[in-house]
Structure 1
Amino acid sequence: MSLVINHNLMAMNAARNLSSSYGNLSTSVRRLSSGLRVGAASDDAAGLAIRELMRSDIAALNQGVRNANDAISLIQTADGALGVIDEKLIRMKELAEQAATGTYTSDQRLIIDSEYQAMASEITRIANSTDFNGIHLLNGNLSGATHDGSGLVSTGKLKVHFGSANDCSEDYYYIRIGTSTASALGVGSQAAEGKGKSISTQSAAQAALEGIENAIISKDKIRANLGALQNRLENTISNLQIQSENLQAAESRISDVDVSSEMTEFTRQQILTQAAVAMLSQANSLPRMAMQLLGG
């Protein structure tokens, strides 16, 4: 290489290597400080795209867990109210048994029937007032066979969504709760049909025993269905948590930095940067030799 003074090619070469090493050192510092191997699309374009899809699925699955837990809370609210209704039906059967015997007069049976009707009214009140987050559970709003969520207020059976897409077999199922008012159960004066309308006479009281038995069975079917749904939701939550955990592990392998490997690279680039700075200093002093030839 000729000794020239117009261009310091060795200094240019050292400066280029310094810039490269310093850039790599900066990347290592960013990765170590953030904990991310992929912090920008330029780090790994394909990896970034896969990571963001995984992150969206992880977020959706975690929200799905919360959705399923909310549905369990809803079911427990309905089941608790049905437990109270159960107590009312048991009392009504006790009253019907009392009125069915011949040792009471008609006036006394009317008094017994007044409590019987009060219990039926309370059942209807509980069914109409039980709600979860503004959604009425036992008044028949969720008993429909078809779900329609196109309006501001969904109608029909309740849709519990927990998956990251919208495939019926994978991402959601429905909660359907039968009507639990006294008339729907066939007891009380408002019942359209059935044997549990009244216990004001001995024969009516005897018939009411069967009617109340049928009401208890109908109520138990609703509670059994809710219990099965709660168990299913609990299993769904376990599965969602496993999915989320495994996706998080996969996302970590793509996105997170290997600290030990990156620290080795950081040290390497740090040494190269220091060497480049030293050589740039030396290269900048070399043209002075030309001054010696010029008699400087």
Structure 2
Amino acid sequence: MKKILVTGATGQLGSELKVLSENYWQYEWVFADRTQVSLDHLSKLKIQLELIRPNVILNCGAYTAVDKAESENELADIVNHQAVKVIAQYANYNQAKLIHISTDYVFDGTSSTALTEEATTQPINVYGATKRAGELACLEVNSNTIIIRTSWVYSRFGNNFVKTMQRLLKERDSISVVNDQVGSPTYAADLAKAMMDIVSAKEWIPGIYNYSNEGEISWYEFVLAIQEIGGYSCDVKGIPSASYPTPAKRPAFSLLDKSEIKAVYGVEVPGYLSSLRKCMDLL
């Protein structure tokens, strides 16, 4: 029986994979949190991988505190770059399959058309730079890796934008949301399903793939959709990013082109509204 290791098991994507794993009983699953697979401790990580001996690794663990990464750049680099290299080396030496999750933050946000996998990367913050370094390390030591870039991830699990907005829409009379950052949200349950479609596919075709839900919206429009589905009466105002300064710069445009993952793996990509409704029903 093949063994699947999921890193970052208590995060949004790891939690959705745990739910989904019940449909994939043909695999032995290992859901590892940061104590079982220490992405911040490289020598320990090597030993842990050798003890678990997975045939498939779904690397969902990452340092994702985008603003905090600006001051904790060394830790972000260890988790998002150096640990990824260790995992990719293990996968290479042991002929294990590796799916590594990356981000739209590898781009600078100056594009005006949906970004393909070949688009030029140029991160504008520490988080994006460490994730890009992780991608490059992966591909350098293990050409058989699959990297999935995703964006604006949310779920019924963990802390995320949808949950925060639901709370604020209930509690406040008015909120302001940036309206000049454009992309598409990703329901983590949909991404988990796409990952398992790849794992189950007849042929393993390595490379970089994009995955987010269909649709092109701003954060402001995303909140309007949350408001409509939830029936909240709060006044939502759109503001420019300049009015809401953060330690880390965000890409203004990071819409991902999903045609590659659809063509190669036949992955289904739902529209963002139907997936948002599904998630909010569960919440």
TM-score of the aligned structures, taking structure 2 as reference length: 0.17
Structure with larger RCO (C-alpha < 8 A, sep 6+): 1
* Structure with the largest fraction of helix: 1
* Structure with the largest fraction of strand: 2
Find the structure with the greater CA-based Rg: 1
